[in-house]
Amino acid sequence: AQSVTQLGSHVSVSEGALVLLRCNYSSSVPPYLFWYVQYPNQGLQLLLKYTSAATLVKGINGFEAEFKKSETSFHLTKPSAHMSDAAEYFCAVSFFSGSARQLTFGSGTQLTVLP
């Protein structure tokens, strides 16, 4: 079964500091991995995705994530946090079940950016 674990339901960083949001996955086959962001009262928006082409994936808004097979991790980072980065972030793994691809989501990490 595919599963995703996000360590830390709440993360606070100061503006300008490094952002690190952790995600570990469990997958019996090579995974397709995603990071989504959710701003208050909105739907989910794709930040970036890993599709096995490169282990370091760059996304929107300066975010990037590195796929580490040996650690089964796909942590999200941004060198310098901005106030506008405050949101909830979800890691997800894609797998084929039944007749369609499905996404299994982690429980989410709420990022707070302090001035």
Partner 1 sequence: NAGVTQTPKFQVLKTGQSMTLQCAQDMNHNSMYWYRQDPGMGLRLIYYSASEGTTDKGEVPNGYNVSRLNKREFSLRLESAAPSQTSVYFCASSESRDRGTTEAFFGQGTRLTVV
Position among 28, 40, 83, 98 found at the interface with partner 1 (CB under 8 A): 98
- Asked if 42 touches partner 1 (CB under 8 A), the answer is yes
Taking the least distance from each CB to partner 1, the nearer of 55 and 102 is: 102
Whole-number Å distance between alpha carbons of 40 and 80: 21
The answer to whether 1 contacts partner 1 (rule: CB under 8 A) is: no
Contact residues for partner 1 (CB under 8 A)?
9, 32, 34, 36, 41-46, 49, 51, 90, 94-96, 98-108
